[in-house]
Chains A and B, each alone.
Chain A
Amino acid sequence: MPVDIPKDNWPGTVRTVTIGATAADGGTRTSTVTVGGEKNLPFLHFESKAPNRPVIAIEIKDHRPEDWSTLLLDAWGEAVNYPVQWAKAAEAAGADLIELSLSLNDLNGNPTSPEAAVKTVKDVLANTGLPLLVFGPGQAEADNNLLVAIAEATKGEKIVLGIAEDKNYRTIIATAMANGHLVNARSPMDVNLAKQLNILISDMGMPLDRVLMDPTTGALGYGIEYGFSAMERLRQAALQGDAMTQLPMLVTPGFEAWKTKEAKVNTGVPDGWGDWLERSINWETLTAMTLIEAGADIVVLRHAESVRRVKTAITDLMAAAYTLA
């Protein structure tokens, strides 16, 4: 019996965004990463093959993080004390990008200084060829302080600065515009809030091909269904032609998964949770996988084994060696 394969034909296209600049473009990266450009829902190659695959960023910190699961600290070993070593280890683990998260305080408990942050960023840039994302500590004043200094000191590198939120986007956008960088625009798991922030950013004159949107997610078991559905709806809005949602999506399943009790704790937990390390990695990979199915273009992960598995899955999803009918 002949089967007529239903195909979606969407009017809209997700914007294409390139992160990082090589020497030819005024930066120092040895490679760049391009995401976006989708014309249909994820991985349905029988309609239209996506021009770019989803990519993986590995999150590193400016110094040994006190609040990370010991599983992660053990996995990266000595490198967690040295951002440059950590970045190199992340590159070796298969990262497409490095995401450097700055801490609020230095190891002595003093607020991280712009000078120190700039030095860390420059050291990382000098020692890896991968494009970079730099996220502030997540407090408006500290973020502005650090990110402006970093943006100015790395002009032209096309770094992704984060995190721009509704209460804290103006300074970050302004410095990104002035210094040729990109931004990550984060909103809390809601289609309209995501769109609204993109409009505000666009209104400032920021070219939208330098904006990623981060609709936020919950981890598996902690609200992932909200993130999943918000992303499915955002991608459908983009494909329907809504220009203010046509941005590649970045999400941070590593951060979300590794702060859950399942990944952090191994004492006094139910037997039904199983082996701690394997459970934690599954928590991270399943969170990432689910969001990739919903349209994530960049997932930020923390464990090297998760990177290996998710990367294998992405390769498998991007292959189009099948016929449908």
Chain B
Amino acid sequence: MALTGIQIYKLLPQTNCKECGFPTCLAFAMKLAAKQVELSACPYVTPEAKTQLAESAAPPIRLVTLKSDGYEVKAGNEVVLFRHDKTFYNKPGLFIRLFDNQPIDAIKEVVTEASTYAVNYVGMDLTVDGFVVASTAGDPNAFTTAVQAVRAASKRPVILMTRDANVARAGLKALQGETPLIYGADATNWEAFADLAKEAKTSLGVVAGSLAEMADLTEKIKTKGVEDLVIDPGGRDLGSGLALGTTIRRLAIKKNFRALGFPMITFPGDVGDPGLEALHAAQAITKYAGFIVMDHFSPASIYPLLVLRQNIYTDPQKPIQVQPGIYEINAPKPESPVLVTTNFSITYFSVANEVEGSGLPAWLLVTDAEGMSVLTAWAAGKFDAERIAKAVKGFNVADKVSRKRIVLPGHVAVLSGELEGELPDWEIRVGPREAVDLPAFMKQAL
């Protein structure tokens, strides 16, 4: 938890020397609390105070980054329990697990398919983040071969899964120059794993059967100088997974409990049934996982999971926007009407879905209204005749149609006069207020 201005003031020299540029130490402390100045502006602060202040400034959940050539996956650094309180920042990494007893060709096939997989959602390409290689028999050679196979098929970050530090060490050789995650350390092997993580500069997964045991382990590992930890507190069923995830997040955010202030790794794949695996992964997305390990790669479940992750991790204060532009619905022809709306995703989807469902062809002109719905944007001056005319011209709508006919949302009927002024050679029509009435309007009035 961040210190208040008063708490910081108590750590300062309290001499009011003004060398920091502020009239008093208290004023400087207030600025520090608001993170508007750096502590280094004070020449007289003691080393002890520095340590304490640095600790309080550290994020409650450590940011852990896995890196490979050209890719990066970040987890942690979250500051709230509920997205409506601020936002969730680092989307949990979605990883696909391979086992080193699978045929090499099978591994390569899955990894190639998953690694090149990209699905477009509201103008963004969503992808899988990386791969887990799991040792099945503790054989360093088999493990290394599997890691090499993954690396040959994809450059995305890798998690090495074995409880034997020697096996992990062998796998690491295939990942030179990268920052993978090795998983993992437990109560019996932690020293060897901590040494290896320190030496290879990797992140380290920690496995424990209870939160108390986990807290002990992370503290011990930290004394070895390894701090980029990822924790697996167990809990493979949905009920205990939720309880553990919630408790760990609460301890970090509300109590600043450092021993558990790390991203959590979950294993929905352990449930076996692919349909339930997707549900376990969905819970992991909403309730606090940092890394999610799946055993099945199937576009039919990965696509909805990637979309869910995108949805939950949007900033609640900033609506999802679609790319402004001219969208074709039901293969429009030059004589089809031009419907206009804003680029707020829900507005766009409502309009596009209704028109699509009607089977009637139309051009849908999506204007840049800074992600606001029709009425809100109009009230905020982000959806007016000038902006609509600019979109009509900017997206060369006139070149696509033979009949220059544009339909305004009914809520902004008031704009039609002005728009006639902006677009003198266009026929301006006023459509219905609600998207649901569009099909009837298009059938009867256009």
Residues of A whose CB lies within 8 Å of any CB of B are 1-6, 41-46, 67, 218, 220-226, 228-229, 232-233, 236, 259-262, 270-276, 278-279, 281-283, 285-286, 289-290, 293-294, 305, 309-310, 312-313, 316-325
CB contacts (< 8 Å) of A260 on chain B: these are 353
In the complex, whether B46 has a CB less than 8 A from a CB of chain A is no
Additional 4 contacts, C-beta under 8 A, given A43-B242, A232-B83, A289-B282: A6-B254, A294-B286, A320-B239, A322-B240
Contact residues in A for B287 (Cβ distance below 8 Å): 293
User: Given that A44-B243, A272-B299 are contacting pairs, would A220 and B311 also be in contact in the complex, using a CB cutoff of 8 Å?
Assistant: yes
| Interface presence of B121 (CB below 8 A) | yes
Asked whether, in the complex, the Cβ of B212 is within 8 Å of the Cβ of A225, the reply is no
Partner of B301, one of A5, A44, A274, A319: A274
A310 and B278 CA atoms in complex are apart in Å by 11
Please name all residues of chain A whose beta carbon is closer than 8 Å to the beta carbon of B84 when the two chains form the complex: 229, 232-233
In the complex, which of the residues A6, A218, A325 has the most CB atoms of chain B within 10 Å of its own CB atom?
A6
A43 touches B243 (CB 8 A): yes
Contact A43:B239 (CB < 8 A) given known A272-B299, A279-B304: yes
Q: Is B210 an interface residue (CB 8 A)?
A: yes
> Residue B19 at the A interface, CB < 8 A?
no
Measured between alpha carbons, how far is A279 from B119 in the docked complex, in Å?
13
Given known contacts A259-B353, A289-B283, A293-B283, A221 and B215 CB-to-CB distance under 8 angstroms: no
- Give chain B interface residues in 222-259, CB to chain A under 8 Å: 235, 237-240, 242-244, 246-247, 250-251, 254-255, 257, 259
- Given A1-B219, A3-B211, A282-B300, also A225-B121 (CB < 8 A): no
Cβ-defined contact, A281 with B275, below 8 A: yes
Given A221-B121, A322-B235, verify A278-B312 contact (CB < 8 Å): no
Nearest Cβ distance between residue A105 and chain B, in whole angstroms? 14
Q: Tell me, yes or no, whether B44 is within 8 Å of chain A by CB.
A: no
Judged by a CB distance under 8 angstroms, whether B22 is at the interface is no
Q: Are the C-beta atoms of A274 and B303 separated by less than 8 Å? A: yes
Q: Is the Cβ of B243 less than 8 Å from the Cβ of A45?
A: yes
* Residues in B whose Cβ lies below 8 Å from that of A229: 82-84, 316
Chain A CB within 8 A of B314 CB = yes
Q: Chain A's nearest CB lies how many Å from the CB of B124?
A: 12
Per the bound structure, the CA–CA distance linking A51 and B345 in Å amounts to: 38
Contacts of B250 in A (CB 8 A): 6
The answer for the CA separation of A223 and B322 in the assembled complex, in Å, is 13
| B357/A290 in contact, CB under 8 A | no
User: If A221-B307, A224-B308 touch, does A322 touch B243 (CB 8 Å cutoff)?
Assistant: yes
| Bound-state Cα–Cα, A17 to B149, Å | 57
Q: Which of B301, B303, B349 contacts A222 (CB 8 A)?
A: B349
The minimal Cβ–Cβ distance linking B321 to chain A, given in whole angstroms, is: 13
A9 to chain B, nearest CB (A): 13
In the complex, what distance in Å separates the CA atom of A3 from the CA atom of B215?
A: 8
A305 to B276, CA, bound (A): 11
Task: Give bound CA distance, A111 to B257, whole Å.
Answer: 63
Quick check: A283 and B304 within 8 Å, CB to CB?
A: yes
Other-chain contact of A324, B121, B211, B257, B357 (Cβ < 8 Å) = B211
Query: Shortest distance in angstroms between A238's beta carbon and chain B's nearest beta carbon?
Result: 14
Contact with A along B167-191 (1 / 0, CB 8 A): 0000000000000000000000000
With both beta carbons as reference points, the residue of chain A lying nearest to B436 in the complex is identified as: A138
Give the Cβ gap from B391 to chain A, nearest Cβ, in Å. 23
For A321, the chain B residues whose CB sits under 8 A away are 237, 239-240
Return A170 CB to nearest CB of chain B, in Å: 22
Most buried by B among A229, A283, A289: A289
Find chain B residues with CB under 8 A from A45 CB. 239, 243
In the assembled complex, B302 has its CB within 8 A of some CB on chain A: yes
Which chain B positions have C-beta within 8 A of A223?
Answer: 345-346, 349
Residues facing A in B185-213 (CB within 8 A) are 210-212
**Does B216 make an interface contact (CB < 8 A)?**
yes
Q: Among A5, A233, A270, A290, which residue has its beta carbon within 8 angstroms of that of B286?
A: A290
**Given A270-B119, A289-B283, A317 and B356 contact (CB-CB distance below 8 Å):** no
In this complex, what residue of A is CB-closest to B305?
A286
Is the Cβ of B304 less than 8 Å from the Cβ of A272?
no
Residues from chain B with Cβ under 8 Å of A273 in the complex: 119, 299-300, 303
Known: A220-B304, A283-B304. A1 touches B212 (CB 8 A): yes
CA distance A270 to B276 in the complex (A): 24
B120 within 8 A of A: yes
A286 to B237, CA, bound (A): 17
Closest to B219 in A: A1
Q: Which residue of B lies closest to A191 (CB)?
A: B84
Taking CB atoms, residues of chain A closer than 8 Å to B419 are none
Q: List residues of chain A with CB within 8 A of the CB of B314.
A: 225
CB distance from A250 to the nearest CB of B (A): 19
**Which residue of B has the minimal Cβ distance to A259?**
B353
Give every chain A residue within 8 A of B237 (Cβ-Cβ): 316, 319, 321-322
Q: Which of B104-139 contact A (CB under 8 A)?
A: 117-121
**Which residues of chain A come closer than 8 Å to B211, judged between CB atoms?**
3, 5, 324-325
Determine the distance from Cα of A319 to Cα of B82 in the docked complex, in whole angstroms: 24
Residue of B nearest to A323 (CB): B210
The reply to whether B346 and A286 form a contact with Cβ atoms under 8 Å apart is no
The yes or no answer to B260 lying at the interface (CB within 8 A) is yes
> How far, in angstroms, from A1 to B187 measured CA to CA in the complex?
13
Residues of chain B contacted by A259 (CB below 8 angstroms):
353, 357
Bound complex: CA A242 to CA B85 (Å): 19
Shortest A6–chain B CB gap in Å is 5
Cα(A260)–Cα(B349), bound, Å: 9
Cβ of A186 to closest chain B Cβ, rounded Å: 15
Asked if B119 and A313 sit within 8 Å, CB to CB, the answer is no
A309-B275 in contact given A43-B239, A43-B243, A317-B238 (Cβ < 8 Å): yes
**B82 — nearest CB in chain A belongs to which residue?**
A232
Instruction: Tell me how far the C-beta of B246 lies from the nearest C-beta in chain A, rounded to whole angstroms.
Output: 6
- Interface assignment of B402: CB less than 8 Å from any CB of chain A: no
User: B279 interface residue, CB < 8 Å from A?
Assistant: yes
Q: What are 23 inter-chain pairs, A to B, with CB distance below 8 A?
A: A4-B255, A6-B247, A43-B239, A43-B242, A43-B243, A44-B242, A221-B307, A222-B349, A223-B346, A232-B82, A233-B84, A261-B353, A262-B303, A270-B119, A282-B301, A286-B279, A293-B283, A294-B286, A309-B276, A312-B276, A321-B237, A321-B240, A322-B240
B311 neighbours in A (Cβ, 8 Å)? 220-221, 224-225, 228
Contacts of B376 in A (CB 8 A): none
Which chain B residues border A323 with CB–CB below 8 Å?
A: 210
